[in-house]
């Protein structure tokens, strides 16, 4: 069976669409994927995609972020550069910790938010 030019173009277009989706989560560009497939992105990339600058109040934007995370099975990891954990230990913002938390929670991705 021979594939027509139109069918070949449709197949190539679908492959490109799949590749693009692999580089995104919920429409937001991914920085990278871990070896076990967790997609890592940032709040800045999320805000760029949804054009949120000055459009929403802080409270409305927080609700939108959390709803997006829940809808797309993404863990929100937001911490300041330096903070105290529940036991009073000094800690630092860490992409690795965010990824680990997403892994433990069995999430598809993590949205990193450095609150500093």
Beta strands per DSSP E along 15-89: 24-25, 28-29, 32-33, 39-42, 74-79, 82-84
Separation between Cα atoms, residue 46 and residue 44, nearest integer Å: 5
Tell which wins on pLDDT, 32 or 98: 98
Give the range of the structural domain holding residue 39, as residue numbers without chain letter: 5-114
DSSP 60: H
Residue 76: per-residue pLDDT: 96
Q: DSSP label at 56?
A: S
Output the pLDDT for position 58. Answer: 75
Q: Which stretch of DSSP H or E encloses residue 113?
A: strand 109-114
79 SS3 class: strand
Query: What length does the chain have?
Result: 116
Query: How many domains does the chain contain in total?
Result: 1
């Amino acid at each position: 069976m021979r594939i027509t030019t139109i069918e070949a173009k449709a197949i190539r277009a679908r492959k490109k669409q799949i590749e693009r989706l692999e580089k995104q989560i919920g429409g937001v560009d991914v920085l990278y994927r871990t070896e076990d497939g967790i997609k890592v992105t940032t709040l800045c990339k999320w805000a760029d995609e949804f054009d949120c600058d000055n459009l929403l109040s802080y409270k409305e934007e927080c609700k939108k972020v959390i709803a997006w995370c829940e809808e797309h099975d993404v863990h929100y990891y937001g911490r300041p550069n330096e903070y105290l954990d529940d036991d009073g230990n000094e800690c630092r913002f860490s992409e690795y910790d965010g990824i680990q938390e997403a892994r433990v929670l069995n999430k598809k991705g993590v949205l990193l938010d450095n609150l500093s």
